[in-house]
Homo-oligomer: A and B are copies of this chain.
Amino acid sequence: MADTVIVNGELTEQISVYDRGLAYGDGVFETILCRDGKLLLWERHLERLISSLVRLRIEPFEHNTLLTSMQPYLVGVGEQIVKIIVSRGNSRRGYAIPEQTRTNTIIFIANREKPKPDIMRVGVKTRICETRLAYQPKLAGLKHLNRLEQVLAQMELSDSKVQEGIMLGLQGEVIEATRHNLFLVKNGELFTPELSNCGVAGIMRTFIIEIAQQQGVEIHCEKISVKQLMQADEIFLSNSINGIWPVCELDGAPFEIGKVTCQLQDRVVELTSIA
């Protein structure tokens, strides 16, 4: 299904049934765009991967070999998507962590299916999902393997013409989309939800915040209500694969693709060659 799968340095599509990623979701993952053989924002992804493992107190893994093991499979032309799962390793039944554990690293490399070419300009239709994100400060921000909430939210969209679902937190505040972070623009200023209770602190999200700061755009990371979102001048989504996707519709209401979104999008494309 992917073109290449590398498990702990070896080409195989099998993993031990004792992996704690399977048993408990005890691990994290990264999804990275590779363009013409170059992993975009690689240092940032690696840095987040390592700091996420530290937060979960997962043994440091052999990240030096990560690049060398995938390098032969990153082709020089076109786009590939690289997904890296790092789990705490194998163990017997039970939550307790054995003294001797070695992380398992699984790298998936697949050619990118071309997105519809006009999606970057025309934008995507979105809807607010019923499934909410639970508050768990100990896991907030992490791209961990406990993702049943996103699976349930995605299922809500299966019959619709909507491309992405927006997820609220427990108290009804806006947090993110199922596969993207979320930004809104109001009176020329940029807003994105703070993620201390839930949500994934995306690499592209941080990158956009930095770009906005460089461009002199006022940026606010704070609690955002659905009302604020509906009254936004512009809304856009971000992740490491798609860069910036403008939102053209939310719960049936049309949104314009505005100046700030396009400026940021241009700058992201310029800096990362996402097009």
Binding site for B on A (CB under 8 A): 1-2, 5, 7, 12-26, 29, 31, 56-57, 81, 83, 85, 87-88, 90-97, 106, 108, 110, 131-132, 134-136, 138-139, 144-155, 158, 170, 178-179, 198
Asked if A145 and B57 make an inter-chain contact with CB atoms under 8 angstroms apart, the answer reads no
Asked if B131 and A23 make an inter-chain contact with CB atoms under 8 angstroms apart, the answer reads no
A-B contact pairs, 29 of them (CB 8 A): A2-B92, A5-B17, A13-B18, A14-B14, A14-B17, A15-B22, A21-B22, A22-B87, A22-B106, A22-B145, A23-B29, A23-B147, A24-B146, A24-B147, A24-B150, A24-B151, A25-B25, A25-B146, A26-B151, A56-B152, A57-B155, A95-B153, A95-B154, A95-B179, A96-B158, A97-B158, A132-B136, A138-B152, A139-B149
**Closest residue of chain B to A58, judged by CB?**
B151
Asked if B106 and A2 make an inter-chain contact with CB atoms under 8 angstroms apart, the answer reads no
Copies of this chain, complex-wide, total 2
Give the shortest distance, in Å, between A161 (CB) and chain B (any CB): 14
In the complex, the 9 A-B pairs of residues with the closest C-beta atoms, listed nearest first = A134-B134, A25-B25, A146-B146, A95-B154, A14-B14, A24-B147, A134-B136, A22-B22, A1-B92
**Closest residue of chain B to A139, judged by CB?**
B148
CB neighbours of A25 from chain B (8 A) = 24-25, 145-148
Question: With A134-B134, A148-B139, A154-B96 known to touch, is A1 a contact of B24 (CB < 8 Å)?
Answer: no
Asked if A19 and B16 make an inter-chain contact with CB atoms under 8 angstroms apart, the answer reads no
Contacts A57-B155, A135-B170 given; 6 further ones with Cβ under 8 A?
A2-B92, A15-B15, A23-B145, A24-B151, A92-B110, A145-B148
CB neighbours of A179 from chain B (8 A) = 94-95
Question: With A106-B17, A134-B136, A148-B24 known to touch, is A81 a contact of B95 (CB < 8 Å)?
Answer: no
CB neighbours of A95 from chain B (8 A) = 147, 150-151, 153-154, 178-179
Give the shortest distance, in Å, between A136 (CB) and chain B (any CB): 4
Q: Among the interface residues A93, A170, A198, which one has the most CB atoms of the partner chain B within 10 A?
A: A93
Q: Among the interface residues A24, A94, A148, which one has the most CB atoms of the partner chain B within 10 A?
A: A148
CA gap between A21 and B179 in the complex, in Å: 18
Asked if A17 and B23 make an inter-chain contact with CB atoms under 8 angstroms apart, the answer reads no
CA gap between A97 and B20 in the complex, in Å: 23
Asked if A2 and B144 make an inter-chain contact with CB atoms under 8 angstroms apart, the answer reads no
CA gap between A24 and B22 in the complex, in Å: 8
Asked if B97 and A81 make an inter-chain contact with CB atoms under 8 angstroms apart, the answer reads no
Give the shortest distance, in Å, between A159 (CB) and chain B (any CB): 12
**Closest residue of chain B to A20, judged by CB?**
B151
